[in-house]
Amino acid sequence: RTVYVNGDYLPEEDAKISIFDRSFLMADGVYEVTSVLGGKLIDFDGHAKRLERSLNELEMQKPEAFDDLLEIHRELVRANDIVDGMIYLQVSRGSAGDRDFAYPDASVKPTLVLFTQSKPGMADSPMAKTGMKVISIEDARWGRRDIKTVQLLYPSMGKMMAKAAGCDDAWLVEDGFVTEGTSNNAYIVKGDTIITRQLSNDILHGITRAAVLRFAREAQMKVEERSFTIDEAQDADEAYITSASTFVMPVVELDGKAIGTGKPGTVAARLREIYLEESRKAAI
């Protein structure tokens, strides 16, 4: 695999960053994952804008190559023959050659790393037909989940708890309300209304969420952006999640209870179809 590190395209075994890099020592880094379908980038502009916002919120310098990110993504797709898959991008505050809680001064340049993951046929995931099972767990993450940082230990723990329970993912609950999934935004459907938590610092502002809600409104579906509980979700007609790597994925079971018919719902199926079709059209 060819990867990108600070201006260079290299074989992955030759790619190196410092052991003092603050992403390694302090999780002082932010990231984005952009999907590739048919060799083209899905929602690239949304991911680039959110990256810029994450950097601003953490007062992290923009990498010098920020304006070349589209070119870098395209070069990695080309070099690795990616048809369907993902591009992972990470920016960290870099390395001052020592360990220090205080941020280094501006002469220390951020570290920029990108790599690809090939996932042939990812848009035809069998899970879209069967749906996923989720458990609910406490949301024990920090309070700035709107910033896409690489502090992913608790989400990893959540996935492991789900796996141990024979499920696919966990929905996180704070003060009695679902915030989001470990790596996705969460939705329920009641009657003809789509319900998903309102944007705030409590959740990541999903790029897929923004696109799916736009398509839903354009298709005259009703959308309510508000918090919901596990009880309300278990009593819903449908549930689903969205993320750049899963698009729209139905949820059919929550804490052992079937949602609706226990089969993927028609609203989720329709949104998945619209999202994939429109995203492929708009891909660059």
List of residues contacting ligand PMP (CB under 6 A): 33, 180, 183-185, 204, 206-209, 242-244
CB of 233 to ligand PMP, least distance (A): 16
Sorted by sequence, the CB contacts under 8 Å of residue 143 that are 6+ apart come out as 201, 202
Which one of 40, 133, 148, 190 is the catalytic residue? Answer: 148
Between 184 and 279, name the residue whose CB sits nearer to ligand PMP.
Answer: 184
CB of 3 to ligand PMP, least distance (A): 20
Between 73 and 209, name the residue whose CB sits nearer to ligand PMP.
Answer: 209
CB of 141 to ligand PMP, least distance (A): 8
Q: How far is CA 268 from CA 84, 85, 175, 197, 213, in A?
A: 22, 22, 27, 17, 12
Sorted by sequence, the CB contacts under 8 Å of residue 118 that are 6+ apart come out as 80, 81, 82, 83, 84, 85
CA–CA separation, 140 vs 1, rounded Å? 36
Q: Is 148 a catalytic residue?
A: yes
Token pair belonging to 102: 């205080």
Contact 89, 69 (CB under 8 A): yes
Any idea which residue has 């999640």 for tokens? 241
Between 180 and 253, name the residue whose CB sits nearer to ligand PMP.
Answer: 180
Between 95 and 267, name the residue whose CB sits nearer to ligand PMP.
Answer: 267
CB of 209 to ligand PMP, least distance (A): 6
Closest CA to 8 of 116, 114, 118, 117: 114
Calculate ∠ Cα 234-235-240, nearest 5°: 60
Between 95 and 251, name the residue whose CB sits nearer to ligand PMP.
Answer: 251
Token pair belonging to 69: 């990110």
CB of 228 to ligand PMP, least distance (A): 16
CA–CA separation, 188 vs 224, rounded Å? 10
Beta-bridge partner residues of 147: none
Q: Which amino acid is at 89?
A: L
List residues with catalytic annotation. Answer: 148
